């Protein structure tokens, strides 16, 4: 009888644990997002305005309809910038990619770090190819030359190859604890640990991490979904159609549970900068109307600021049938106001 009672108690305990586990996985949509700001470590009193300016020249209107057929050049004596990412531990630091505009396109561009505390820029690596992210563990991850995924400490030390696979090898983003990242290798979407070991495979390309085990992705019907990278469970976040993945990038704001998207309209003469609520309301706000000569591309968000790549096409001279292209780092508020070009020293 004692043995029977013991087994009965054990069975009840197991069922209870499974029920608790199941209930814990069925959290409200809003609870999967960060409910409070993650403490940031600032080693200085940074000043965004001190190292940026709003007095920049640009064409914020449609260019001539035939301008698509006009050749363009990069501005001489200037660098092209790309892939700005905030330091997850310090809102007054960013990393970015720099390319010499006076040279032909190369596959060995540079990764730099910039401080809004000192105004100084520091070279981190010179073998960048594409995709860049900065983890809370202090490691920067990217795809380098030869399509190899690398990580490097944010002081430029300990460059480490995480992959030896050939072919298309896109480095993804770190999860919040920087214990996992995703890797788009050829047609596979792999979840890997900090040492490059595959721990899971998922069916959809992630956009960003919502928390340590759930990513934001686009599912069937081109709508926002959550995807658990371990169980494969998907949940619909927003049933309003969103721009396709070949749009100009997504910026996820985990704190406020929303995503900023640059949406291409028609032939590309005008873009819209949109804010999608991901907490179940289906609300979509148009924050700015853009033109093909003036465009945001991807970026990052922290400290109530968005940092993004800012591309703009301009005429060099009305008598010269050539456009000139600038690529700068743009800083703005969450409502897409107070635009400021970051004054990165050259």
Please write the tens of the pLDDT for every residue from 39-83.
566 667 789 999 999 877 666 555 554 444 555 556 655 788 999
* pLDDT tens per residue, range 101-118: 766 555 578 999 999 999
List, for residues 202-238, the tens digit of each pLDDT value: 988 899 999 999 999 987 777 889 999 999 999 888 7
**At residue 273, does pLDDT exceed 70?**
yes
Q: Of 35, 37, 29, 34, which is closest to residue 282 (Cα–Cα)?
A: 29
CA distance 290 to 161: 39
- Confidence bin at 21 (pLDDT 50/70/90): very low
Report in angstroms the alpha-carbon separations of 55 from 58, 75, 306.
10, 18, 18
For residues 344 and 331, is the Cβ–Cβ distance under 8 A? no
Domains and CATH numbers, the chain: 43-342 (2.120.10.60)
């Amino acid at each position: 009888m004692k043995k029977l009672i013991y087994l009965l108690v054990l069975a009840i305990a197991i069922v209870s644990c499974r029920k608790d586990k199941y209930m814990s996985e069925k959290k409200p949509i809003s609870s999967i997002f960060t409910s409070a700001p993650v403490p940031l470590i600032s080693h200085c009193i940074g000043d965004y305005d001190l190292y940026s300016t709003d007095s920049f020249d640009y064409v914020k209107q449609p260019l001539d309809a035939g301008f698509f057929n006009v050749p363009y050049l990069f501005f001489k004596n200037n660098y092209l910038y790309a892939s700005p990412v905030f330091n997850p531990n310090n809102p007054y630091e960013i990393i970015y990619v720099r390319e010499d505009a006076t040279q032909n396109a190369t596959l060995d561009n540079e990764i730099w770090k910039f401080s809004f505390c000192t105004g100084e820029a520091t070279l981190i690596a010179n073998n960048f190819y594409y995709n860049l992210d900065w983890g809370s563990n202090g490691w920067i991850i990217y795809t380098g030359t030869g399509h190899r995924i690398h990580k490097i400490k944010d002081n430029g030390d300990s460059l480490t190859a995480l992959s030896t696979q050939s072919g298309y090898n896109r480095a993804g983003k770190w999860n919040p604890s920087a214990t996992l990242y995703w890797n788009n290798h050829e047609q596979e979407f792999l979840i890997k640990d900090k040492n490059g070991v595959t721990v899971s495979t998922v069916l959809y390309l992630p956009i960003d991490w919502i928390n340590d085990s759930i990513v934001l992705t686009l599912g069937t019907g081109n709508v926002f979904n959550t995807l658990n990278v371990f169980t494969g469970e998907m949940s619909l976040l927003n049933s309003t159609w969103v721009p396709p993945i070949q749009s100009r990038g997504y910026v996820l704001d985990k704190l406020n549970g929303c995503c900023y998207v640059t949406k291409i309209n028609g032939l590309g003469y005008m873009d819209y900068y949109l804010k999608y609520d991901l907490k179940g309301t289906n609300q979509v706000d148009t924050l700015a109307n853009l033109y093909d000569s003036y465009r945001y591309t991807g970026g990052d968000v922290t400290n109530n600021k968005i940092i993004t790549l800012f591309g703009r096409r301009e005429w060099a001279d009305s008598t010269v049938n050539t456009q000139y292209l600038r690529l700068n780092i743009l800083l703005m508020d969450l409502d897409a106001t107070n635009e400021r070009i970051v004054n990165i020293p050259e």
